[in-house]
Amino acid sequence: MNKADIRSLDFTVTRCLMKLFRTCNTDIIGDCCIYLKFKLPSEIIPCKFQKFVNKLELQRCTLSC
């Protein structure tokens, strides 16, 4: 995914949270995310990608040995 796609996902999730909490203030949404330990796609995707790469490298090492 490119950066524009990830920003689009963040925007969509943020808008859904705005409707859920009935606010247009992004600071309030940010606080809600912190208190609920909710991560936006821009925070989740790099972690998932790194986990995938680590597993792939581990598999490659296991197969080559």
pLDDT in tens, 6-65: 999 999 999 999 999 999 999 999 999 999 999 999 999 999 999 999 999 988 888 776
pLDDT of res. 22: 96
pTM, two decimals, is 0.79
pLDDT of res. 3: 93
Residue 41 contacts residue 11 (beta carbons within 8 Å): no
Q: Phi and psi (nearest 5°) for 49? A: -65, -45
Other beta carbons less than 10 A from residue 18's beta carbon: 16
